[in-house]
Amino acid sequence: MMMCDVFSIASRLVPRDTTFLQASEVPEEFREPGILSGYRACPATVRSCAGSLVRASNETVNFWTHFIPGVFFLLQALAHMGCSEGPYVVYLFSVAVFMLTSSLAHGFWPVSTRGLDLSFFLDYAAMNIYAFGSACGNYAYYFAPGFHDTTLGRHYVGIAGMLSPICTLIACLSRYPGCWKMQKISRLAGFAVLYTWTNLPLIYNLTVTQRFDDLANELSHVVLLTIAAGVYGSHWPERWFPGSFDIIGSSHNLLHVFGTTAVYYQFCGLRKAKNRGFVPGNSADLQIFSAQVTSMMASVLMTDMVIIVTCLLSKARNFRTKFKHEDF
């Protein structure tokens, strides 16, 4: 009842002139396969975008399924800021950044034509930041005994820290004009490489140590993410039933629902593993590692910001050059 009251109050505060468009009324690059209505005009005002999020648009579910969990994980991160569990805090922070950035990108990309590019770039960076945060948590709490002393174990977090901005750059470059299929393949390949690397501890534990009971939550996390990726990649069910899932139930909605549920399973697993203690060693080792991953996260964030700004400026310059050539 309280949530209904919140939406009722919000709907009275937002402008009533918020209109939604048919697929035929928006540029082709804004259309989703099988989604025939519920599109928002671009450019739009911030107030209009906010209004669309409490009305039946095709981004409403996408926004709320990441915004509410994002607030939850942000509160979790803030609640643990004073503790000595640095890897756990970095993980919680990465999830909050991912969820909140994604929700704001989905909610407010129509503010300008450049806002669409910025939203995509921020979304890509946030996903890769989350992957790095997951790597920090996996290293601290999921690695099998003795795995830290292997060559792979010693370089696991460092390589994850390098792959995160590299995959962000690949994803941002895929937004440049070119072959659409190759762009999508390169973007998905970048994400796949990073997430495969991130889940190496799980793969090792399942194939070598066979710790199935200890890793039930993490296994559920990977299975749900795989289902989410498969559903989103196939654009099921809207491709089979065009127009039937414009507002709720589309593959993008399912991606968010399955993805958020997967992250929650991962959170539960890491929280349980954290209570068993820091795997590599004693509290002194934990303090050293906490300082390392905190500085690495700051480096990843700054590198991502440089990549995003550079790609935005480069794409804007290419657009102006193309416009001049077409004008001439």
DSSP 55-115: SS-TTHHHHHHHHHHHHHHHHHHHHTTTSS-HHHHHHHHHHHHHHHHHHHHHHHGGG-HHH
Assign 176 a pLDDT band (cuts: 50, 70, 90). confident
Average pLDDT over every residue of 296-316? 93
Q: Is residue 10 very low, low, confident or very high in pLDDT (cuts 50, 70, 90)?
A: low
Q: Which helix (H) or strand (E) holds 20?
A: strand 20-21
Q: What is the mean pLDDT of residues 43-50?
A: 90
Output helix, strand, coil percentages for the chain, rounded to the nearest 5: 75, 0, 25
Q: Is the peptide bond before 15 cis (omega within 30 degrees of 0)?
A: no
Amino acid at 271: R
Quickly tell me which residue has 């922070």 as its tokens: 93
Q: Which of 28-32, 249-253, 257-261, 278-282 has the lowest mean pLDDT?
A: 278-282
Q: What is the pLDDT of residues 105-124, one digit of tens each?
A: 999 999 987 888 899 999 99
The one-letter amino acid code at 136 reads C
CA 278 to chain CA centroid, Å, is 27
Q: What is the pLDDT of residue 321?
A: 47
Element (H, E) at 326: helix 283-327
Annotated binding site: 106, 252, 256
The Cα 164–Cα 102 span in angstroms is: 17
Give yes or no for residue 11 having a pLDDT over 60: no
**Rounded mean pLDDT, 61-77:** 97
Residue 21: φ, ψ to 5°: -110, 160
Write out pLDDT tens, residues 138-155.
998 887 777 788 888 889
What confidence tens digit (pLDDT) does each residue in 196-229 have? Answer: 999 888 877 777 776 667 778 988 998 999 999 8
> Measured between alpha carbons, how far is 82 from 180 in angstroms, rounded to an integer?
46
- pLDDT exceeds 90 at position 129: yes
Q: Which segments are annotated as binding site for Zn(2+)?
A: 106, 252, 256
Q: Closest by alpha carbon to 307, among 134, 117, 138?
A: 117
Give the amino acid at 77: A
Q: What pLDDT is stored for residue 15 in this prediction? A: 59
Interval 14-26 mean pLDDT: 79
What pLDDT does 326 receive?
A: 37
